């Protein structure tokens, strides 16, 4: 008795639908697996890709996937990835104040957010995930950080004894868990640090681990009213997406058109507490003298008065010291003021839409002191940029799931777990 499957009686319109679903799977194999799932569901492997099943897509056109959030800060990656269907399965953050904000904002417990030195974490204990996201500390590579360390005779880059080796800790996690996608962020100076040798090491390590690497310096001013140039790295695992980089089809997003971009004035509070945030005469005079001294020296250090109709300069983690990077002229003839913590949050893109998504209808609450809040916002990755890039990643991840059967949250087991 022959077990060959006669396929000649299948209507053309059904073939068109099946061809759209089967990817590289031969027609006969696709039909065989589909019939097996219908006739013998108890024999179907629980983690096998559900051929012929549409992906779970929500009202925003997103599909579910899992991610881990390394060097998480206050969750710029978490906001952006959650907005496109991601589910965070573990968070790592060394700073106790940032971890405190993270737990409060995202309603997670002590077990999900792991505090401590990530270099001491056993990568085998990290949960399986689809996307590894990390905004690894930038101070060893930033222009300001390098200049300060050089002036003090300290090591920088990979030689920094405290933070320079964190990229290699990420590599150990990648090697252990082999996530389909790696999504990293750092300062734009990463590509030029040490005459390009630092960037060559990073690129080579990711390639050696089996990834196609894409990178681009993106100015966040297309999404938030702040010039904030950062390098974003997106790497796709060759074993999941194939050996040909041209077939992946990934491109970094273009910024919105100028007419749709936010302006600095959009984030300003109508009635800020001037008693608290307006500069004293002594501090205002000091900042003016400081700027003049550096102007005469031929560099651009010093405060900047932000144009409400434009965008501000970059907010740094040093903003908590004197707020000199970005000042606001509240009234003509009066001393300028600093940003309030809420304005700083909005400047980085932590807006009310993300807050509502995370269960805070009145905006993200301030959990720590102003000093800690400014430091956290200055260190943060903008969730708006993360979301824009993630929207380019998700369709590629979804298509690869259907082609290869890689086990992700699109598996049958995950469907049932999420439904429960």
The answer to whether 69 touches 376, Cβ cutoff 8 Å, is no
Q: Residue 364 domain-assigned?
A: no
Asked if residue 6 belongs to a domain, the reply is no
- Asked if residue 395 is part of any domain, the answer here is yes
Q: What percent of the chain has pLDDT over 90?
A: 55
Asked if residue 369 is part of any domain, the answer here is no
Q: How many domains does the chain have?
A: 3
Position 3 scores a pLDDT of 45
> Are 345 and 398 in a shared domain?
no
Quick one: 214 and 348 in the same domain?
Answer: no
Let me know if residue 3 belongs to a domain: no
Give the range among 10-19, 266-275, 383-392 with minimum mean pLDDT: 10-19
Question: Which pLDDT value is given to residue 313?
Answer: 94
| pLDDT at residue 111 greater than cutoff 50 | yes
Q: Does some domain include residue 60?
A: no
- Which is more confident, 308 or 25? 308
Across the range 257-261, mean pLDDT stands at 95
Could you tell me if 113 and 175 lie in one domain? yes
Give the pLDDT band (50/70/90) at residue 8: low
pLDDT, one tens digit per residue, over 38-84 is 554 443 433 333 333 334 444 444 557 899 999 999 999 999 999 99
What's the confidence (pLDDT) of residue 25? 65
Residues 197 and 153 in one domain: yes
CATH number of the domain to which 326 belongs: 3.90.120
Residue 154 has a pLDDT of: 46
In sign, the C-alpha dihedral spanning 238, 208, 161, 234 is negative
| pLDDT score for 190 | 86
182 and 330 inside one domain? no
Q: Answer whether residue 347 is part of any domain.
A: yes
What's the pLDDT at 191?
A: 86
Is residue 301 located within the same domain as residue 337?
A: yes
What does the pLDDT average to over 209-234? 97
Decide if 335 contacts 284 (C-beta within 8 A).
Answer: yes
pLDDT of amino acid 262: 96
Region 181-194 average pLDDT: 89
Is residue 326 in a domain? yes
Domain around 39: 12-43
**Are 235 and 295 in a shared domain?**
no
Both 144 and 226 in one domain: the answer is yes
Same-domain check for residues 195 and 332? no
pLDDT, residue 72, reads: 95
Least confident of 34-43, 45-54, 142-151, 371-380: 45-54
> Which residue has better confidence, 46 or 265?
265
The enclosing H or E element of 203 equals helix 197-208
pLDDT, mean of residues 127-151: 65
Average pLDDT, the chain: 81
* Claim to verify: residue 190 and residue 206 sit in the same structural domain: yes
pLDDT at 12 exceeding the cut of 90:
no
- Contacts of 135 by beta carbon, 8 Å cutoff, 6+ apart: 71, 72, 73, 76, 77, 184, 185, 186, 380, 381
Q: Which of 402, 406, 419 is nearest to 47 (CA)?
A: 406
- The DSSP letter of residue 408 is S
**Does one domain contain both 33 and 117?**
no
Q: Mean pLDDT check: name the lowest of 344-358, 377-391, 403-417.
A: 403-417
* 86, pLDDT greater than 50: yes
- What do you get for the CA distance between the two ends of the chain, in Å? 44
Identify which of 18-22, 205-209, 321-325 has the greatest average pLDDT: 205-209
CATH classification at residue 144? 3.40.50.150
pLDDT of residue 117: 85
Q: Is residue 222 pLDDT above 90, yes or no? A: yes
CB burial string 16-44: b at 16+ within 10 A, e below: eebeeebbebeeeebbebbeebeeeeeee
- pTM, to two decimals: 0.79
- Bridge partner list, 93: 115
Show which residues are catalytic: 138
Mean of pLDDT values over 139-149: 44
**Residues 29, 147: one domain?**
no
Span 212-220, average pLDDT: 97
């Amino acid at each position: 008795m022959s077990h060959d499957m006669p396929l000649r009686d299948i209507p053309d319109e059904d073939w068109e639908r099946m061809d759209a679903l089967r990817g590289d799977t031969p027609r006969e194999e696709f039909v065989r697996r589909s019939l097996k799932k219908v006739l013998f569901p108890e024999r179907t492997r629980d983690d096998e890709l559900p051929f012929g099943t549409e992906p779970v897509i929500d009202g925003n056109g997103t599909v579910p996937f899992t991610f881990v959030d390394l060097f998480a800060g206050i969750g710029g990656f978490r906001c952006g990835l959650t907005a496109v269907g991601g589910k965070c399965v573990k968070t790592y953050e060394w700073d106790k104040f940032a971890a405190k904000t993270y737990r409060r904002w995202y309603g997670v417990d002590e077990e999900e957010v792991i505090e401590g030195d990530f270099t001491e974490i056993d990568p085998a204990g990290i949960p399986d995930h689809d996307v590894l996201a990390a905004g690894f500390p930038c101070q060893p590579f930033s222009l300001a950080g390098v200049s300060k360390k050089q002036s003090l005779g300290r090591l920088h880059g990979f030689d920094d004894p405290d933070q320079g080796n964190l990229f290699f800790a990420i590599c150990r996690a990648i090697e252990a868990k082999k996530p389909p996608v790696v999504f990293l962020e750092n300062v734009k100076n990463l590509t030029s640090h040490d005459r390009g040798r630092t960037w060559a090491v990073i690129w080579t390590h990711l390639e050696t681990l089996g990834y196609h690497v894409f990178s681009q310096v993106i100015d966040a001013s297309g999404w938030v009213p702040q010039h904030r140039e950062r390098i974003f790295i997106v790497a796709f695992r060759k074993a999941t997406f194939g050996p040909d980089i041209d077939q992946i089809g990934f491109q970094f997003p273009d910024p919105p058109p100028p007419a749709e971009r936010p302006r600095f004035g959009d984030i300003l509070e109508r009635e800020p507490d001037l008693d608290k945030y307006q500069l004293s005469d002594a501090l205002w005079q000091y900042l003016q003298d400081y700027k003049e001294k550096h102007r005469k020296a031929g560099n651009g250090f010093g405060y900047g008065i932000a144009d409400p109709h434009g965008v501000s300069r970059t907010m740094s983690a040093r903003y908590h010291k004197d707020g000199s990077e970005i000042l606001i002229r509240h009234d003509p003839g009066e001393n300028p003021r600093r940003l309030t913590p809420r304005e700083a949050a909005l400047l980085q893109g932590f807006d009310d839409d993300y807050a509502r998504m995370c269960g805070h209808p009145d905006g993200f609450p301030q959990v720590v002191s102003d000093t800690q809040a400014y430091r956290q916002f200055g260190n943060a990755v903008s969730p708006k940029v993360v979301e824009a890039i993630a929207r380019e990643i998700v369709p590629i991840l979804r298509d690869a799931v259907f082609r290869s059967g890689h086990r992700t949250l699109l598996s049958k087991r995950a469907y049932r777990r999420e439904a429960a």
